[in-house]
Amino acid sequence: MILTVTLNPAVDHTLQLEDELTPDTVARTDSAQFDPGGKGINVSKYLVSLDVETVATGYVGDFLGRFLQEELTARDIPNDFVEISGCTRLNTTVLTPQSEFKINQNGPTVDEMAVESIVETIERYEPETVVVAGSLPPGVGPEILDRIADAGSWDTVVDVGGDVLRKLDAEYALCKPNREELAAALGEEIESLDDAFAATRSLQERGFERVVTSLGGDGAIMATPDAVLYTPALDVDVVDTVGAGDALLSGVLADRERGGSDESALRAGVAVASRVVSVSGTSVPPLDDVLDHVDEMRVTAH
């Protein structure tokens, strides 16, 4: 079972505008979409649709926290959250014909006591894999990741900011940065695909068993102890890219859970991400047939 930990969940508010935003002018729209979100929660949402057993945990508070839990339960996403006193954040995406604007709140402050409650929640489920994904809320430092990774015999997967990645000491089975997070983790510029291959390998050598780098429209890279693999993205119409990295990670984890090879896990990740960018916000498109043609996808070694 894959348990996801979202330390800083969000309600994702998505607004679609027919015109570009203009300063000092009121924009109006009929569309408003609210999805339970935050990176780990999204992974659980996609895993449920991929038929993989999962539970989502993390910190929630106040009316947006209640909304988030109710929505997950209504969508049959198993969840078990730790309640805190602050209010869960509202993250807003504005889609205009030309652009995608994303505004994330920093989130409520979490106190020391709540750290142990999360560890106890994880232990209760005895998961094989724990995925810790998304930003750290105010009050919580990178130590929480090592605490979670060292608390049990599960494989720990991290999808956190590049500066946080530099501060980890425990053993991690997999790390999923995007291009910017990879650059921040290494303190290097990543301009070309070749730079990204070398940087993914460097991060893997710094203590992660595997690193999967999401490159948006350029596809994804996986560095394993033996190889650096690359799969280009599929050619699809993109509505918005919110949740694409989470979808990539879900595909990789779902395939690994079924005993797939590194190549097939990378293909599955790119296939799921390519499907998720075709819907707005972090809603879940049908994923039951998404892995049907992955064998036809190209994987190259670098």
Ligand X SMILES: O=P(O)(O)OC[C@@]1(O)O[C@H](CO)[C@@H](O)[C@@H]1O
Active site (catalytic) residues? 246
DSSP 112: H
Closer by beta carbon to ligand X, 79 or else 282: 282
Residue found by looking up tokens 């919110």 in the block: 242
Would you say 65 and 81 are in contact if contact means Cβ atoms under 8 Å apart? Answer: yes
Binding-site ranges for ligand X (CB under 6 A):
8, 10, 12, 37-39, 42, 91, 104, 134-135, 242-243, 245-246, 282
Looking at the Cβ atoms of 242 and 299, the one nearer to ligand X is 242
CA distance 181 to 218: 16
Task: Tell me whether residue 14 or residue 200 sits nearer to ligand X (CB atom).
Answer: 14
CB of 295 to ligand X, least distance (A): 28
CB of 133 to ligand X, least distance (A): 8
Backbone angles phi, psi at 12, to 5 degrees: -90, 120
CB of 142 to ligand X, least distance (A): 14
Q: Which is nearer to ligand X, 105 or 202 (CB)?
A: 105
Please give the DSSP secondary-structure letter assigned to residue 45: H
Q: How far apart are CA 174 and CA 39, in angstroms?
A: 15
Q: State the minimum distance, in angstroms, from the CB of residue 274 to ligand X.
A: 15
Cβ proximity to ligand X, 224 vs 280, nearer residue: 280
CB of 44 to ligand X, least distance (A): 12
Of all residues in this chain, which one has the CB nearest to ligand X in the complex? 37
In 3D space, the residue among 91, 106, 1, 87 whose CA is nearest the CA of residue 44 turns out to be: 1
Question: Which of 202, 246, 235 minimizes the C-alpha distance to 36?
Answer: 246
